[in-house]
Structure 1
């Protein structure tokens, strides 16, 4: 007898494969089988009736900073450009400790689950205290989200022509030693892993050339992925030209990062020939459309990047740039940005869903197991809820209705075969206590009394 049977659903299994009135069988944390009304459902210990709702693979968040929810909607930065925003927030993040990061990660992961996300990376690049990434893994184990920690770093201070204050800057040897420690302690390369580690220097203007180069060496040594922000803001172009005498893409190539191990956050301000070179090198890109609109940074032309051969995923980004971490909302934003940029014929809901599932999974190098519901895939999926009023009149295409109508939230979120959201409510024990403790940490860090 299988563990869970979800039936009477409009199943979106993978691009080009949908089953109206379908069922999906889950066993041992994997998709056991899928079928339609012509096939008998197998017996199961738990049966979930979808009642005609849409079921999709869990959305995959390919760029996030969960710890930033401790400074969410921080009023003094709401009218700031990217570089000014960072200069104002860095001193607050200097007060992070392991308890604060644990609480922020728990809260952030529950928010992601409610928004239909089942796997998320997180780039933690401010390390004013030890073992902050360890606190994130503790939170991930307790919440149950599939987690890809991206050990970020800052090694350049304001005095060193960077932006960061000394309190959140680490020396190069400390960064590299802690990256190795985390890989040995937390990185699980096995199929079906619940926790993995990538290397993520914050940005070319925040780390040294040594960190960029040695991150590549370590990634090759341990078969890890590489992640950084690139070409996010026009100020970055000017900075890179003045300091390095080249564009951000050219600098990335100099550092040896033009490799299939690499996925980039944003990549908005790049020339067509640079995009083509990155595509040929196998580099992937994650679009964060909500963050781009809030900071006036814009967003990469996702459909153009895909046409040039790049894998393109979707990310929520952190609260420094985007105060919401609903991956449903970001997937909708991706569709709206694409249609607004190139016209209504350029992009449909299935394109955006493909980006937020298969595309994001490819960014993480994990498209064999997550981002789809083919038999054998990890049992990470979402049964979506929308009000009857919002769906009134939407009779022909539930996937288009899912993004064009709304808002949508997760009715049921399953990760690794475990039900983590049920009837639109998270099942995490002790969540009210976590939220109270989180509020106390946010007040401390924002220096509110």
Structure 2
């Protein structure tokens, strides 16, 4: 069994039930799991890392992404658009997706995530052009190459422009096609075991791109198989007005009627919930993936995170798609979330440590996992470390639990470990040739955008 010993960690932030900050401790992991934490462990391992100057944290957990969008970021024609116009414009690019684009964009996006301390990535993929190939299979293969823990989704759309939706005809499918493929992917990839590297959720795109029948059947199928449900909700006022005009009710009530609340459901964004809707989320245990940078770039608004946390709504952190974020760093998201809510909510805002817990324990809860998101004996050996001697951290390590939110970290972390395997060392990916990957991905991106 492969083993790793991390010696003399300067500060270890557990994010466990006791919110412990441990000093000068060793961490020993074996076969992917943490076996011991304590001072001066009398043990040897296959690999030992000196962490005497390191800050050590649980691996960050990303709860909402669109990895394919890595190849459509920073495009000048969409820089000043809001969501609906932005989507309509970009669908004309996304309809040309294929397996190679998905493979290389997934490697690029997840590689960036992992270089910035993320150890688990949830991706919401919902664009399935005809004859595009095995897109979800390509994502899992990319994750395995990198060594990151992957939670994929079988997203879907069945309403095109001609049906009153936003996407073109070539990327929508029938409900029967979607349900058949959803069952196939769950049976092939969904691993319910403790410490699983692969899981699947069902994730129709959004209420304005899918039918009521697709949402209803997705909820039924997900509960038959015991998988989770995810979609975008309450991201913009345009969405709210769209639903009021089409259905005569607000988005959350619409989703409630179709079986889309509960502890197995989480929504991306959740900006425009009213007071009563926040209470519904709290009562039902329905979660929210908070995407502050994307929400700012698209002028969508500010999610009511302080109120959600006060009410007990499950909240996790996410980067969202790279076309509405222009990056894949959950570390950057963490600091932006802290600063945004300090600006907007003052003393009611979550602390730097609260936001770290949101990105670890909170995100793990959204994904239905109690084996990740904290550093404790028996949990997955998912963590990252940062050298406290960095110039940009001088004079800032008096509160290691909050420093990632208040001060932040520029550039890659020093180490990332996923399931006991070192995947990033000295800020570089260990499992792929980064330079070659960047070249291949850039070539593929340019060819894709020229189609």
Identify the match of residue 150 of structure 1 among 144, 149, 153.
Answer: 153
Q: Is it true that 1:30 corresponds to 2:33 in the alignment? A: yes
- How far residue 389 of structure 1 moved from its aligned partner, in angstroms, is 2.2
- Larger CA deviation: 308-317 vs 339-348: 339-348
Aligned position for 1:21:
24
The separation in 2 between residues aligned to 1:326 and 1:282, in whole angstroms, is: 27
Q: Does 1:377 align with 2:379?
A: yes
Of residues 419, 424, 442 in structure 2, which corresponds to 1:439? 442
Mapping of 1:27-426 within 5 angstroms? Answer: 27-36=30-39, 39-128=40-129, 129-344=132-347, 346-366=349-369, 368-385=370-387, 388-408=390-410, 409-426=412-429
Question: Once structures 1 and 2 are overlaid, which stretch shifts more, 369-378 or 329-338?
Answer: 329-338
CA distance in 1, matches of 2:426, 2:4: 16
Q: Offset of 1:12 from its aligned partner?
A: 0.7
Give 1:150 deviation, angstroms: 1.1
Cα pair distance change 1:76/1:381, threshold 3 Å: same
Structure 2, unaligned runs of 5 or more: none
Deviation at 1:345, TM superposition (A): 5.9
User: Are the aligned partners of 1:156 and 1:208 in contact in 2 as well (CA < 8 Å)?
Assistant: yes
CA contact (8 A) 1:93 1:445 kept: no
Per the TM alignment, residue 443 of structure 1 is displaced from its structure 2 partner at its CA by 1.0
Match of 2:3 in 1: 3
What's the TM-score once normalised by structure 1's chain length?
A: 0.96
Q: Once the 2 structures are TM-superposed, how far is the Cα of residue 42 of structure 1 from its aligned partner?
A: 2.4
Describe the superposition over 1:387-444 as per-residue Cα deviations: whole angstroms up to 9, x where unpaired: 6321222252223333322434311100011100011111123333332221122112
What secondary structure, in the 3-state scheme, does the structure 2 residue paired with 1:14 have?
A: coil
Q: Which moved more, 1:42-51 or 1:144-153?
A: 42-51
> CA 1:433–1:52 in structure 2 vs 1: closer, same or farther (change >3 Å)?
closer
Q: Distance in 1 between matches of 2:55 and 2:337?
A: 19
Higher deviation after alignment, 431-440 or 356-365: 431-440
The count of aligned residue pairs is: 445
Structure 1: segments with no counterpart, 5+ residues: none
How far apart in 1 are the matches of 2:167 and 2:389? 45
For residues 395 and 203 of structure 1, the distance between their equivalents in structure 2, rounded to whole angstroms, comes to 42
* 1:179 Cα offset (Å): 0.5
Following superposition, the deviation at residue 336 of structure 1 comes to 1.0
Deviation sequence 1:43-78 (CA, Å, 0-9, x none): 222111123321000000001011110111111101
CA contact (8 A) 2:204 2:210 kept: yes
Q: What root-mean-square deviation, in Å, do the aligned CA atoms of Structure 1 and Structure 2 show?
A: 1.5
Task: Check the 8 A contact 2:384/2:417 in 1, yes or no.
Answer: yes
- Deviation of 1:386 after TM superposition, in Å, equals 6.0
Deviation (angstroms), 1:338 = 1.7
2:263 aligns to what SS in structure 1?
coil
3-state SS of paired residue (2:395): coil
The answer as to whether partners of 2:380 and 2:419 remain within 8 angstroms in 1 is yes
Separation of aligned partners in 2, 1:382 and 1:195: 20
TM-score, length of structure 2 as denominator length: 0.96
Q: Pick closer, same or farther for the CA change 1:347–1:259 going to 2, 3 Å.
A: closer
